[in-house]
Amino acid sequence: MKIVAYNGSPKGKKSTTHIMLNEVLKGAMEQGAEVVNYTLSEKNINHCKGCLHCWYVNKNECIINDDMNEAISYFQDMDILILATPLYFDNVSGMLKVFLDRCIAYGSYFIEKDENNESKHLDSFKEKHGGKQAPRIVVICNGGFAEQSQFQAIEFMMDRMARNMSTEVVAKIFRGQGPLLSMGSNEQLKPIIENYKRLLRQAGRDIASKGIITDAIQIELDKELIPIDVYNSNINNR
Ligand SMILES: Cc1cc2nc3c(=O)[nH]c(=O)nc-3n(C[C@H](O)[C@H](O)[C@H](O)COP(=O)(O)O)c2cc1C
């Protein structure tokens, strides 16, 4: 089992995204998974120019010479793709979106219909990797607002993207009140954060061993860390 995670926070290893990702990957490694933790903020990945040279001129070759070739070199043999991002304007960060846009170079431009008779791109992964199933997707996202409802748009976007990639999102780890996770030196928050990290490690073990997160762990992961009104008033009175 190979798991490749892309961290799309501009804060890189200082981000809440990193804290979450780190625990999930620790759990996965405990189950023997091979993991790659790829921090996009440390790389030079430029915007897609939209020229479609990669589709119409040289198949799968991007004209931009930057770290994207290295970034996608892990696609070869991965089983699980983790997309980790802070919630920015209800969506993925610009940094993760730039990376995703650049992935167009490695997809197929041919069109087929899915099981609902809706058009999508052809599954290019199978063709390129000897019939191997496209990697299943795990989404990790944290936001500043407290409610789990804040993640509706990113959830929808990820499901749509997976459909187009002939795969599925197998786990969604969404964390409202995300900034609390970097406040581990606070004595009151410490046990709450430690408990949440324990759940993340369990989620990582589940993903590596079963390919999904069990319902019981998902329910625990979705619980608020502290009461929403307390969280909001702490922010408002800062
Ligand atoms: C440009 C920008 C947009 C943001 N938009 C949202 C948002 O729509 N919803 C939300 O809950 N938090 C939003 N936030 C707050 C971040 O999601 C929050 O601070 C998060 O903990 C940052 O995670 P990181 O440390 O992993 O980068 C936004 C922050 C920034 C800088």
CATH of the domain at 106: 3.40.50.360
Give the model's pLDDT for residue 133. 85
8 lines ligand 1 (CB under 6 A): no
22 lines ligand 1 (CB under 6 A): no
| Predicted confidence (pLDDT) at residue 75 exceeds the cutoff of 90 | no
39 lines ligand 1 (CB under 6 A): no
174 lines ligand 1 (CB under 6 A): no
Give the model's pLDDT for residue 126. 77
Give 198-229 pLDDT, tens digit per residue: 999 999 999 999 999 999 999 999 999 999 99
The residue nearest atom 17 of ligand 1, judged by CA position, is 143
Mean pLDDT, rounded, for 31-35: 98
| Predicted confidence (pLDDT) at residue 159 exceeds the cutoff of 80 | yes
Strand ranges for 151-193 from DSSP E: 169-175
Q: Check: CB of residue 125 under 8 Å from CB of residue 165.
A: yes
pLDDT above 70: percentage of residues in the chain: 100
The residue nearest atom 20 of ligand 1, judged by CA position, is 143
Q: What share of the chain is helix, strand, coil (3-state, %, to 5)?
A: 45, 15, 35
User: What is the 90 CA–ligand 1 centroid distance (Å)?
Assistant: 9
User: What is the 87 CA–ligand 1 centroid distance (Å)?
Assistant: 5
Domains in the chain, number: 1
| Predicted confidence (pLDDT) at residue 21 exceeds the cutoff of 90 | yes
| Predicted confidence (pLDDT) at residue 2 exceeds the cutoff of 90 | yes
User: What is the 94 CA–ligand 1 centroid distance (Å)?
Assistant: 11
Q: Per-residue confidence at 145, pLDDT binned at 50, 70, 90?
A: very high
13 lines ligand 1 (CB under 6 A): no
Give the model's pLDDT for residue 190. 97
Q: Please indicate whether residue 132 or residue 134 has the higher confidence score (pLDDT).
A: 134
Sign of CA dihedral 218, 219, 223, 225: negative
Give the model's pLDDT for residue 123. 84
Ligand 1 atom closest to the CA of 90, numbered from 1: 8
Mean pLDDT, rounded, for 154-171: 96
Residue 11: domain span: 2-236
Mean pLDDT, rounded, for 39-53: 97
Mean pLDDT, rounded, for 30-53: 97
Q: What is the DSSP secondary structure assignment for residue 188, as one 8-state letter? A: T
Give 106-131 pLDDT, tens digit per residue: 888 899 999 999 999 988 777 777 77
Give the model's pLDDT for residue 104. 93
Give the model's pLDDT for residue 90. 98
Measure the CA–CA gap between 199 and 24, rounded to whole angstroms.
Answer: 9
Ligand 1 atom closest to the CA of 182, numbered from 1: 25
Give the model's pLDDT for residue 237. 94
Mean pLDDT, rounded, for 77-96: 97
For residue 5, list its beta bridge partners.
Answer: 37, 82
Give the model's pLDDT for residue 99. 98
91 lines ligand 1 (CB under 6 A): no
Q: Report the mean per-residue pLDDT for the chain.
A: 95
Mean pLDDT, rounded, for 58-70: 93
> Identity (one letter) of the amino acid at 86?
P
Ligand 1 atom closest to the CA of 19, numbered from 1: 26
| Predicted confidence (pLDDT) at residue 164 exceeds the cutoff of 90 | yes
The residue nearest atom 6 of ligand 1, judged by CA position, is 88
Mean pLDDT, rounded, for 13-29: 98
Of 118, 17, 19, 104, the C-alpha closest to 63 is: 104
| Predicted confidence (pLDDT) at residue 170 exceeds the cutoff of 80 | yes
User: What is the 88 CA–ligand 1 centroid distance (Å)?
Assistant: 5
144 lines ligand 1 (CB under 6 A): yes
